[in-house]
């Protein structure tokens, strides 16, 4: 049975939304403009449905990233996905942004995978994974970039692949600290993509919308 899945990512400064059917990406809209995610979500969904000649009734599952990332950005995406799932009575799949970035890596070598997402100051959101077999070996955390690099420098791993928007900011520092040990995905592949969410979520039954919560790692600031 073919299942049409709507996937959404708003966890970082970039935005994407995609339709995936029978584990194939039908169409994806990706934007790295400075527009607020809340301003482009509904127009992008409308554009996506018109482009693919689909309707909301065709969607049988919803998936979204749950963070970590920008507090407001994460909330926008989850609220949008939860609302759709509730109104359409559909299962909802929530995927950690760090897991998504790590699962998007393709490598011929059995490297360690290290996604880093920009936090505040020199802090990054991070976890660490083995590639074969795919396994998370560090819990989700927020860590100062130099502390992370000092930790990685002590490991015996010969290859560490970095991904996430943090490589745009910290690439030079990583290369200086780790040298040939460090490898990087292309900048264009360093962001989470809704198409990847959809492909991963195709293998999940999903949950009731009320069960999907933001993964903040640390509490949002309240002013």
pLDDT confidence of 110, banded at 50, 70, 90? confident
Assigned CATH class of 4-97+192-211: alpha beta
The average pLDDT across 104-127 equals: 94
- Is the pLDDT at 6 greater than 70? The verdict is yes
Contacts of 17 (CB under 8 A, 6+ apart): 6, 7, 8, 9, 28, 29, 41, 44, 45, 48, 194
For residue 2, name the pLDDT band (cuts at 50, 70, 90). Answer: low
pLDDT for the residue numbered 157? 83
Task: Report pLDDT digits (tens) over 121-143.
Answer: 999 999 999 999 999 999 999 99
Q: Is the pLDDT of residue 173 over 60?
A: yes
- State percent of the chain over pLDDT 70: 97
Fold of 105-189: Nucleotidyltransferase; domain 5 (3.30.420)
Q: Where in the sequence of the chain do the CATH 3.30.420.40 domains occur?
A: 4-97+192-211
Span 82-98, pLDDT tens digits: 999 999 999 999 999 99
| Residues forming CATH 3.30.420.200 domain(s) in the chain | 105-189
Within 10 A of 21 (CB to CB), how many other CB atoms are there?
Answer: 19
Tell me what pLDDT residue 107 has.
86
Residue 219's pLDDT is 58
pLDDT of residue 218: 76
For residue 187, CA distances in Å to 26, 86, 170, 192 come to 24, 35, 12, 11
In this structure, what is the dihedral angle of CA atoms 80, 82, 84, 86, given to the nearest 10 degrees? -150
Strand ranges across the sheet with 123-130: 135-144, 123-130, 112-118, 160-163, 182-184
Checking if the pLDDT of 223 tops 50, the result is: no
How does the average pLDDT of the chain come out, rounded?
A: 94
Higher pLDDT, 220 or 15: 15
């Amino acid at each position: 049975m073919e299942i049409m899945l709507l996937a959404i990512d708003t966890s970082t400064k970039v935005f994407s939304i995609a339709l995936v059917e029978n584990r194939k990406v039908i169409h994806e809209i990706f934007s790295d403009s400075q527009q607020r995610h809340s301003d482009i979500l509904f127009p992008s969904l409308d554009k996506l449905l018109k482009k693919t000649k689909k309707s909301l009734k065709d969607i049988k599952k919803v998936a979204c990233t749950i963070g970590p990332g920008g507090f407001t950005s994460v909330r926008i995406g989850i609220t949008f996905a939860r609302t759709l799932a509730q109104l359409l009575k559909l299962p909802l799949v929530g995927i950690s942004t760090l897991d998504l970035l790590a699962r998007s890596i393709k490598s011929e070598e059995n490297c360690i995978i290290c996604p880093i997402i920009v936090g505040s100051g020199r802090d990054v959101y991070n976890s660490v994974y083995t590639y074969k077999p795919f396994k998370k070996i560090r819990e989700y955390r927020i860590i100062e970039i130099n502390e992370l690099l000092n930790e990685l420098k002590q490991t015996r791993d010969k290859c560490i692949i970095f991904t996430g928007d943090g490589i745009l900011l910290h690439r030079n520092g990583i290369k200086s600290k780790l040298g040939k040990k460090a490898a990087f995905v292309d900048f264009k592949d360093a962001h989470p993509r809704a198409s990847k969410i959809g492909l991963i979520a195709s293998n999940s039954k999903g949950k009731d919308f009320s069960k999907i919560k933001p993964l903040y790692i640390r509490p949002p600031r309240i002013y």
